[in-house]
Structure 1
Amino acid sequence: MKKIFISIGILTTIVMNAQNNNEVLKKTLERQRIENNKKFDLFLSKHFESDKNPGTLKELEEQRKNLAGFDPDGKPYFYQSDDLDQIKNSNADFLQNGTITGLTGSFNGENIKYTIFDGGRAFEGHELFNNAADRVNNKEASTMNYSSHATAVTGFIGAKDYPYTLTFTNGTTRVTNLRGIAQNSTFDNYAFATTTLPGGSASSTVFEKIVLAQPKISNHSYGTNPGWSSLYGIAWIWGGQFISPGTTADLQGTYLDSDQTYDNIVYNNPTYVIVKSAGNSYGMGPTGNTLAKYYKNSAGTYVQFAATDTLPQNNCALGYDCIGFGSLAKNIIVVGASDILTASDKRYSSPSDVIKSSYSSAGPRDDGAIKPDIITTGTNVGYGSTAENTTGSSLYNVGSGTSFSGPIVTGIIGVWMQIYKQLYPALELNAASAKTLMIHSASEAGTVGPDPWNGWGYIDAKKGAELLVGKSNNTILFNDETLNNGSVNARTVKASGSEPLKVTLSWIDPEYVIPTSITWAEAYNNRTSRLINDLDVRIIDTGTGIIYQPWKLNALDPMTPATKGDNTVDNVEQVVIDNPTPGAVYRIEISHKGTLKNNASPSVTSPQNYSIIASGFSEVLGTKDAGLRKSDGITIAPTVVKDFTNVLKAPKNSTFNVYDLSGKKLQKGKINNHKEPIDLSAYTNGIYIIEIKTDKDVISKKVIKE
């Protein structure tokens, strides 16, 4: 009975810790919503003093529900929608048709639920979703209009097989199929606007809805445009700061509080995979046209630029830096758009096949971090639409946007989750491992290495699935691991020589905290790294001593091709040796700078979980933890268990801790025996980290419970 009591107590503690983390997060988000409402009320009062037009005030009040944040002057920004070619372009049909060697059956999103946050309700009665009952579950009130945009986004992920002839504005036609990536999946749909959900008593922001929904995989095809934007085609509006005659600042590329919030949510919920569009603002601006041009002063009043003023440059005038805040978070996946791949039967064959769409917003983040993360087709694609009323209808259209490339990536990752569940029923493809898989499997686009237009490359659904098979048959290394403070995790491999030796690492980093009263000087083009925990991956040639370093961009000149060096801004690092010596021995090392911390306030030292993929080797010769190199003889056995494992040869009075892969401490104890048992019977099947602390060292070891 005593054993059962302890097991229940441990499980209760785990559940309570998870609940407590999100309860704190919910209170933080509620406080944020209340404070933002107060800021908006203050803005309205100032605006009303200078503009007595009731229509203007009513329009601004209507926008409250789409509130995205404020600039340093207190002016509000608002969310806006970012608008079988895609299936073949991304090789997703290989998953749908069940033609991946090593996998059983086809994969069309069975038992996968996607959560959509968009401009309104998706029309659940659309004929694209009638291949099964109750596929689309709208969580908003039935009085909310159906949204064409939300219906389209849902369809890109989950529309049924539906041949259709597209008709373009110039009268030309193209026969296509509107089938989505995962035609047998289901959906929960929310609006990104701040609304009161059915059964609720208070309004909820999009962030509060994310925490409420607890999505394993979610799509967010909306964003902000803090640069130039068009006002109904009759004027250009500058969204940044302007002081006549020529002082300019803007928030393009700026990590702000909405990015902080996304990072906070994922750090507290590391199984949440959030996919977001990069935006459609590239090249926007008044250069070359005669439309009137306006900016807003500090009170929020429109002021026309004078003829003697020096206008701010068009968005991304230098080819980079026009992604809006909210799409610059570290722990989410941001998607750019390309034109349809037309060469080689619409299959990718070389980097030149990928042409960035003219509107797709470019990175990087102001500190030089790589954004967007990935690119895929989003231009001139067909989609299901609807009348925007409470009745809905089955309509069709052709359109373009990162709104339409984003859900392709979302759909593919969801299907990868389905495959992962078949291969590893007890495990989940979490946020870090999903990003690592996506980046490691991506096809080169643009210049060699990552770049501000294409991120890490063009998504390849087939290659990602093949890597999952490779994990299952041990031909690649794909693990979720933990790095302890002061440790170096190392393993030695023998290069095959038949392909590049490549290692990709990513981790869920604590949110970077933005000052509550940030100034324009602090916000504009701030190059300070937004990393909290800076992990490093290196490959060392053990024969020559040559150290190979990861890709990085130059924040001051990001259009120059990426170079290799110490990356201090990305929570993704990738090292590639294009032509390793066949049979040569290389050591992969993962280390860190400074002190690893969590996101508590104040922060405390904490292990950092990460995901790693390595490919291009014929044999793994050994795995070492830094502590094991210093404390010979201490071992943990067995490493594959049902109930118990043992700490062997540890000094008496050493201590142990047991962590899950999210970094939560599940158990602690003291070592009193030469063979100290650790009871894991209370935990679900999966991977756990056992940490041993002696008076000299900290040693960690992975244990698999089956």
Structure 2
Amino acid sequence: MDYKYTVSRTVQIVLFASVLFCTAQLSAQSKDHKKFIQSANKAKEIQTLASKMRADYDAKHIRLQQFAKENGLPMTEKLSDGTVVSLQDIGVDGTPLFYTTFMDPTSKVSRANELYAGGNLNLDLDGRGLQVGVWDAGIALTSHQEFGARAIKGDAVDEVSAHATMVTGTLISSGVNKKAKGVAFAAEALTHDWTRDKVEVIETAAQGMLLSNHSYGIKSDRVPDWYFGSYIKVSQEWDEIMYNAPYYLMVTAAGNAQNSYDNEVPVYGKAKDGFDLLLGFAVSKNGITVAGANTRIDDKGELKSATVASYSSFGPVDDGRIKPDLAGDGTAVFAASSYGNQSYDSSTGTSMATPGVTGSLLLLQQYHEQLYGTYMKAATLKGLALHTADDVAAAGPDYKMGWGVLNVKKAAEVLKNKEYSSIVNEATLTNGEVYTITVKADGNQPLLASISWTDPKGEFVNRGNLNDATAALTNDLDIRITKDGKTYFPWKLNPAKAADKAIKGDNLVDPYERIDIGDAAGEYTITVTHKGNLVNGAQDFSLIVSGAELTQCRVVAPNGLQLTSATEAVAKFGWDAAEDTLFEIQYKEKGQTEWVTGHTWENTWNIPDLEKGKTYEMRLRAVCTENLVSEFSDVLEFMFNGEATEQTLAYEPLSYPTELSISLYPNPAVNELTVNAELSSDAEFSVVTVSGNIIKKGKINGAINVSDLSSGLYVLMVQDHSGLKSSKFYKN
């Protein structure tokens, strides 16, 4: 099945549904990731923003101390239940804003255990080599036996926090006590006090940090009602940080105020209903806000039931965005504690649900790097998490648990099946452009398509209006799916009817949109457009599609391997043809350990220079995508005598139909690739990954240099006066 990317109104690129073939050299060829991420950051904007935030912090710190002294308030206090409360800001209306931890004293839910060695996916992921930022009421007890040297103090604060230790333990504990094993149990955590959180985050994100955990927020019983659900300055500031550092994602707790009755005038219902309780950076557009869930998971990692936890704060936010984004397990979580280096405790709250999500997302970044040699942008990671979350109760999202319970097992499968049954593509939409692909549903699962983007900061900041519905969204992208004159729309929620089921229509507020087609069959066209003019003239976005059939290749061992003829110089072999399939052939002398390996698109292969009288072994397998290959066929054992026999000649190789409009040689290629076609002097080429990214282009003046490409499968596009032609090739 061919599928098309149209990234302007006039240019159409046809890609064949096969993908880069992963080689053992991938890890060795990986880039210096931190430098790559740093280069993707908007360095000038980050530097300016960091300087501004440092100055704001210095001025605010003096103002807070003066305010506390004048009003007889402590800067920090510990409540009788162990909750830490700290004066951290003053709102535009003069309201003191107190940060508080979201944990009441007292990981399997995200399905992260399925990604470990021995899990159902057996991926051996553990977070090794990655760092995660933790900001909290203080720093973790870095000397705890669960951390070794992997909990690293990130700032000058020495105050050890029980809350920070449990959060950090949920993230990275090694499992000295098996019940306390962290989600990313081999990762490092940079532990910080929350006092300078924005300043420290932007500095660390500028250096390449991918994720940070924030299990705290504004204390809900000390603010006027208009703050709830409002897009305020702190919401805007965090969005600005994430926009300028596009690989960085903030993960924060929704809060534990469901039964507090703190908001007497919610955007929907009454205080006792628990809606409209999110505050501050939990209202930001670009981060992930985590609710707490009570779940039941079977031993295969399947969600059997889920309900929102009785403590977890609900959305919506005032402009109707879908918040919280998703849910994790925060009930009776057992983790390292700060009472001593061998101490542990249990706790409940969205504070504990959040690091479970953060650690799971870190594992997905590790997996993506293993598969493709790069990390995902934050919008891709967030979109993948929301795309694959387990829906609960009614279809679609809701204002209690967002898109559902995090399922990183399903997310990992989408990554592995990229360009086989799923698309994970990072692209850019500029003013006036339309992005289009056509895909075929696989007929076995729902067709899901979603877009996710890190939006520029919202220009509107609420300064005291109760339940102001002004949209915080800046660049409004839209996804639609069409088939036979019918248009499918994304999910949306109505804050005025917050308890109602999600509906489908034009979503005007969310920087993430998803379309679900449950009974999909046939071909569908997916289109991404935008409204109005895009701020900064362009918007990066991530497209995720699952439930598609992107290739005719099948991950099954090839059949029919036979010796078809032999001469003194060469032995010839054939097997059953298979469409869209790259075959990997291996052969060796019997008794030897090292296989000689080759690749071909055809269903024939010649082996030269064999020695008469020796016995050889041969096998082959199908390569469908970069990460999906079949098992090897049964080994064919033969003695080479240099002569053809009736038996070996009886096999007639099946023809292998080709759809290519141009031919390339050599294919596979090593250093150069030649186009076998009559071309004008104006002919141009583009080398394209099947994710749709052009990585090399130029005029065709003789052979094309491909020595600088990584090993794998590509598409060569040739544009000439006669039109656009394409062919796939393999680079050794």
TM-score, length basis structure 2:
0.67
For residues 455-466 of structure 1, the aligned pairs below 5 Å read 455-466=402-413
The higher radius of gyration belongs to: 2
For residues 615-626 of structure 1, the aligned pairs below 5 Å read 615-617=547-549
2:457 and 2:730 mapped to 1: Cα distance? Answer: 30
Distance 1:393 1:478, change over 3 A: same
Select the residue among 7, 17, 27 that pairs with 2:48: 27
The CA deviation at 1:374 is 0.9
Distance 1:30 1:477, change over 3 A: same
**AA in 2 matched with 1:120:** G
Structure 1: which 5+ residue stretches go unaligned?
1-10, 165-176, 196-203, 230-236, 241-248, 288-310, 598-602, 622-634, 693-701
Distance 1:58 1:441, change over 3 A: closer
- 1:252 pairs with 2:228: yes
**AA in 2 matched with 1:267:** Y
RMSD of aligned alpha carbons: 4.8
Number of the residue aligned with 1:222: 216
Number of the residue aligned with 1:611: 543
The CA deviation at 1:153 is 0.9
Distance 1:407 1:385, change over 3 A: same
The CA deviation at 1:576 is 0.5
Number of the residue aligned with 1:90: 110
Number of the residue aligned with 2:288: 333
Report the more deviating stretch, 19-28 or 461-470. Answer: 19-28
Number of the residue aligned with 1:557: 497
Number of the residue aligned with 2:249: 273
For residues 231-246 of structure 1, the aligned pairs below 5 Å read 237=222, 239-240=223-224
2:445 and 2:199 mapped to 1: Cα distance? Answer: 47
Number of the residue aligned with 1:423: 371
8 Å CA contact retained: 1:508, 1:610: no
For residues 531-550 of structure 1, the aligned pairs below 5 Å read 531-542=473-484, 545-550=485-490
Number of the residue aligned with 2:139: 121
8 Å CA contact retained: 2:64, 2:87: no
Number of the residue aligned with 1:110: 128
2:242 and 2:127 mapped to 1: Cα distance? Answer: 23
Number of the residue aligned with 1:189: 191
Distance 1:555 1:183, change over 3 A: same
**AA in 2 matched with 1:551:** W
**AA in 1 matched with 2:134:** I
SS in 2 for 1:471: coil
Distance 1:657 1:492, change over 3 A: closer
The CA deviation at 1:434 is 0.8
Select the residue among 341, 361, 366 that pairs with 2:313: 361
Number of the residue aligned with 1:299: none
Select the residue among 524, 528, 546 that pairs with 1:590: 528
The CA deviation at 1:128 is 2.0
The CA deviation at 1:577 is 0.8
**AA in 2 matched with 1:94:** E
1:254 and 1:643 mapped to 2: Cα distance? Answer: 58
1:445 and 1:28 mapped to 2: Cα distance? Answer: 40
8 Å CA contact retained: 2:114, 2:301: no
**AA in 2 matched with 1:455:** G
The CA deviation at 1:513 is 2.8
For residues 21-420 of structure 1, the aligned pairs below 5 Å read 21-35=42-56, 37-38=58-59, 41=62, 55-56=72-73, 68-83=88-103, 87-101=107-121, 105-129=123-147, 133-141=148-156, 144-163=158-177, 177-194=179-196, 205-211=199-205, 214-225=208-219, 227=220, 229=221, 237=222, 239-240=223-224, 249-285=225-261, 317-339=272-294, 341-342=295-296, 344=298, 348-350=302-304, 353-387=305-339, 392-420=340-368
8 Å CA contact retained: 1:446, 1:454: no
Distance 1:427 1:317, change over 3 A: same
1:63-87 deviations in Å (ceiling 9; x for gaps): xx9565432313331322222xxx2
TM-score, length basis structure 1:
0.70
**AA in 1 matched with 2:534:** L
8 Å CA contact retained: 1:182, 1:411: yes
Number of the residue aligned with 2:448: 502
Number of the residue aligned with 1:445: 392
8 Å CA contact retained: 2:421, 2:546: no
The CA deviation at 1:161 is 2.5
8 Å CA contact retained: 1:316, 1:362: no
Identity, % of aligned positions: 29
The CA deviation at 1:37 is 5.0
Distance 1:68 1:688, change over 3 A: farther
Report the more deviating stretch, 607-616 or 341-350. Answer: 341-350
SS in 1 for 2:231: coil
**AA in 2 matched with 1:124:** T
1:511 and 1:368 mapped to 2: Cα distance? Answer: 17
1:636-675 deviations in Å (ceiling 9; x for gaps): x99x999999999999999999999xxx9999x9x9x788
2:495 and 2:240 mapped to 1: Cα distance? Answer: 25
2:270 and 2:686 mapped to 1: Cα distance? Answer: 51
8 Å CA contact retained: 2:41, 2:246: no
Distance 1:531 1:97, change over 3 A: same
Distance 1:683 1:22, change over 3 A: farther
**AA in 1 matched with 2:117:** N
2:518 and 2:476 mapped to 1: Cα distance? Answer: 25
Distance 1:46 1:608, change over 3 A: closer
Distance 1:44 1:161, change over 3 A: closer
For residues 468-547 of structure 1, the aligned pairs below 5 Å read 468-471=415-418, 474-514=420-460, 519-521=463-465, 524-542=466-484, 545-547=485-487
8 Å CA contact retained: 2:422, 2:544: no
Distance 1:486 1:20, change over 3 A: closer
The CA deviation at 1:315 is 8.7
The CA deviation at 1:381 is 1.7
SS in 1 for 2:227: coil
1:381-403 deviations in Å (ceiling 9; x for gaps): 2111113xxxx533221111111
2:497 and 2:237 mapped to 1: Cα distance? Answer: 28
2:318 and 2:467 mapped to 1: Cα distance? Answer: 5
2:128 and 2:336 mapped to 1: Cα distance? Answer: 21
The CA deviation at 1:549 is 0.3
The CA deviation at 1:180 is 1.4
Distance 1:484 1:337, change over 3 A: same
1:80 and 1:687 mapped to 2: Cα distance? Answer: 51
